[in-house]
């Protein structure tokens, strides 16, 4: 049976200013679609896995266009449910050099924010799944979304489905009266694979590497400093088999260093570090890492180092691609893993 990965979360209409223009300068916006869990599903479909995306969207032409876009990339949409009034929107202003990018959300009362437990038949959705993935963005939307996510995790645990999460803390989303620290522990407790960046674990769980200051890295992030983060997270969440931390060093908006560490069975694996000097679009970078990681852990089950290197290389390539989705193939990722970063024309 072909491996089936189910992802659950919100997909939005993305409206971005072109050519590094600021919001007040642009007379047009480029429309695409994106969202953390959908981005992961697209990556996995690109790699040849069976990927099913689950969400709640309204019945209108914009939502239909969104579904058509997902299908174009090979993502399964049969388990999407319909209802509510609107698809969420986010506006993106891409930064340059010392000017940071900006995101403005318009997603209050989106269809998935108004979801309730029981609306999705998780027993049916997950009955033939091997993997279930969610991110911390979903429970940030509403209590109903958090409850639906917890419901899914419980069913996945009961069915023996591997559960992964990307902590993905977004302070601007937690607006319904609960803090992430109140909601997330119960959900993460049901996870086998936990991913975060250098700030997620601290902001949500108070776990941080001693003496580390992300603002003072100047692009240099010491991977070994994060072993303590991984061990603390595993102590806090004993179900977890692997904890992964992405390591982004930000020199400026167009120039980042990128890597990661994976901790499992008392051993810390460190990836190759990439120097990304001309970023096209970093939105979705973490999701492309997660997509690569899920693929790597499924494809190379006995080789955590290779799985980690695949994830880092895949997300490195994502920084060269416009839009939320990472539209790369396994062959392209493996080529970069092998050391070929020349960018020579393929004929």
Calpha distance 309→289 (Å, rounded):
10
Boundaries of domain holding 118: 4-334
Calpha distance 223→270 (Å, rounded):
7
Does residue 218 form part of some domain? yes
Contacts of 226 (CB under 8 A, 6+ apart): 198, 209, 245, 247, 261
Instruction: Give residue 159's pLDDT.
Output: 98
Instruction: Give residue 1's pLDDT.
Output: 52
State both tokens at 5: 């990965």
Does residue 120 form part of some domain? yes
Inter-residue contact 280 to 317 (CB < 8 Å): no
pLDDT values of the chain reduced to their tens digit, one per residue, 347 residues: 578 999 999 999 999 999 999 999 999 999 999 999 999 999 999 999 999 999 999 999 999 999 999 999 999 999 999 999 999 999 999 999 999 999 999 999 999 999 999 999 999 999 999 999 999 999 999 999 999 999 999 999 999 999 999 999 999 899 999 999 999 999 999 999 999 987 899 999 999 886 666 555 555 656 777 888 999 999 999 999 999 999 998 999 999 999 999 999 999 999 999 999 999 999 999 999 999 999 999 999 999 999 999 999 999 999 999 999 999 999 999 999 998 776 665 65
Instruction: Give residue 182's pLDDT.
Output: 96
- In terms of residues, how long is the chain? 347
Calpha distance 248→246 (Å, rounded):
6
- pTM score, two decimals? 0.94
Instruction: Give residue 226's pLDDT.
Output: 86
Please give the torsion angle defined by the CA atoms of residues 117, 120, 125 and 126, in that order, rounded to the nearest 10 degrees. Answer: 0
Does residue 225 form part of some domain? yes
Calpha distance 131→154 (Å, rounded):
13
Instruction: Give residue 340's pLDDT.
Output: 76
Inter-residue contact 203 to 180 (CB < 8 Å): yes
* Beta strand pairing call for 30-34 and 242-252: unpaired
Write the CATH number for 206. Answer: 3.40.1190.20
Does residue 297 form part of some domain? yes
Instruction: Give residue 225's pLDDT.
Output: 79
Does residue 255 form part of some domain? yes
Calpha distance 273→276 (Å, rounded):
10
3-state secondary structure of 338: coil
Calpha distance 15→26 (Å, rounded):
11
Query: What are the angstrom distances between the C-alpha of 240 and each of 18, 133, 243?
Result: 41, 14, 7
Inter-residue contact 198 to 258 (CB < 8 Å): no
Does residue 252 form part of some domain? yes
Domains in the chain, number? 1
Identify the residue whose tokens are 């996870």: 191
Calpha distance 315→309 (Å, rounded):
10
61-72 helix and 36-46 helix, angle to the nearest 10 degrees = 30
Does residue 72 form part of some domain? yes
Calpha distance 94→104 (Å, rounded):
12
Pick the closest to residue 290 from 313, 319, 315, 264 (CA basis). Answer: 315
Query: What are the angstrom distances between the C-alpha of 319 and each of 215, 313, 324?
Result: 21, 10, 10
Instruction: Give residue 208's pLDDT.
Output: 84
Does residue 80 form part of some domain? yes
Instruction: Give residue 308's pLDDT.
Output: 97
Calpha distance 300→70 (Å, rounded):
26
Pick the closest to residue 256 from 207, 311, 312 (CA basis). Answer: 312
Going 90 to 35 to 322 to 248, the CA torsion angle's sign is: positive
């Amino acid at each position: 049976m072909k491996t089936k990965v189910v992802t659950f979360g919100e997909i939005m209409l993305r409206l971005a200013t072109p050519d590094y223009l600021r919001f007040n300068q642009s007379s047009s916006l480029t429309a695409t679609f994106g969202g953390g869990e959908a981005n992961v599903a697209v990556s996995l479909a690109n790699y040849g896995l069976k990927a099913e995306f689950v969400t709640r969207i309204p019945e209108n032409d914009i939502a239909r266009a969104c579904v058509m876009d997902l299908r174009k990339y090979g993502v399964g949409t049969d388990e999407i449910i319909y209802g509510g009034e609107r698809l969420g929107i986010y506006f993106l202003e891409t930064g340059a050099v010392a000017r940071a990018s900006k995101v403005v959300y318009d997603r209050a009362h989106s269809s998935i924010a108004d979801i309730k437990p029981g609306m999705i038949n998780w027993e049916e959705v997950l009955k033939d799944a091997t993997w279930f993935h969610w991110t911390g963005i979903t429970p940030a939307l509403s209590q109903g979304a958090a409850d639906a996510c917890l419901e899914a995790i419980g069913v996945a645990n009961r069915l023996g489905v591997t559960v992964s999460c990307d902590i993905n803390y977004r302070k601007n989303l937690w607006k319904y009266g609960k803090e992430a620290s109140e909601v997330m522990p119960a959900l993460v407790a049901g996870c086998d694979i936990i991913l975060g960046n250098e700030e997620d674990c601290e902001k949500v769980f108070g776990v941080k590497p001693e003496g580390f200051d992300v603002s003072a890295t100047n692009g240099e992030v010491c991977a070994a400093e994060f072993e303590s983060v991984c061990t603390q997270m595993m102590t806090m969440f004993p179900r977890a088999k692997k904890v992964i931390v992405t390591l982004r060093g930000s020199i400026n908006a167009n120039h980042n260093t990128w890597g990661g560490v994976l901790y499992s069975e008392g051993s810390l694996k460190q990836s190759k570090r990439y120097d990304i000097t001309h970023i096209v679009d970093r939105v979705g970078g973490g999701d492309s890492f997660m997509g690569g990681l899920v693929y790597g852990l499924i494809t190379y089950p006995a080789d955590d180092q290779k799985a980690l290197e695949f994830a880092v290389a895949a997300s490195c390539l994502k920084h060269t691609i416009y839009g939320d989705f990472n539209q790369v193939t396994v062959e392209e990722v493996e080529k970069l893993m092998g050391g070929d970063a020349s960018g020579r024309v393929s004929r």
